[in-house]
A = this chain, B = another copy of it.
Amino acid sequence: MYERYCMRRIELIVAYDGTKYCGWQVQNNGITIEEVLNRELSKLLKEEIKVIGASRTDSGVHSRGNIAVFDTETRIPPEKISYALNEHLPEDIVVQQSREVLPDFHPRKCLSRKTYEYRIWNRRFRNPLNRLYSYFVYTPLDVEAMQEAAAYLVGEHDFASFCSAGSQVTTTVRTLYEVSVTKEDDLITIRLQGNGFLYNMVRIIAGTLVKVGTHAYSPEDVKRILEAKDRQVSGPKAPAEGLTLMKIEIDESEPHYPNPAE
Distance in Å: Cβ of A186 to nearest Cβ of chain B = 11
Q: Are A15 and B94 in contact (CB under 8 A)?
A: no
A130: nearest chain-B partner, CB-CB: B133
Copies in the complex: 2
Q: Are B244 and A94 in contact (CB under 8 A)?
A: no
Residues of B within 8 A of A16 (CB): 128
Q: How large is the interface on A (under 10, 10 to 19, 20 to 34, 35 or more residues)?
A: 20 to 34
Q: Which residue, A91, A124, A125, A127, has most C-beta atoms of chain B within 10 A?
A: A125
Q: Is A227 an interface residue (CB 8 A)?
A: no
A97: nearest chain-B partner, CB-CB: B125
A14: nearest chain-B partner, CB-CB: B128
A16: nearest chain-B partner, CB-CB: B128
Q: Is A86 an interface residue (CB 8 A)?
A: yes
| Known A15-B129, A92-B131; further 4 A-B contacts with Cβ < 8 A | A15-B125, A15-B127, A86-B125, A96-B125
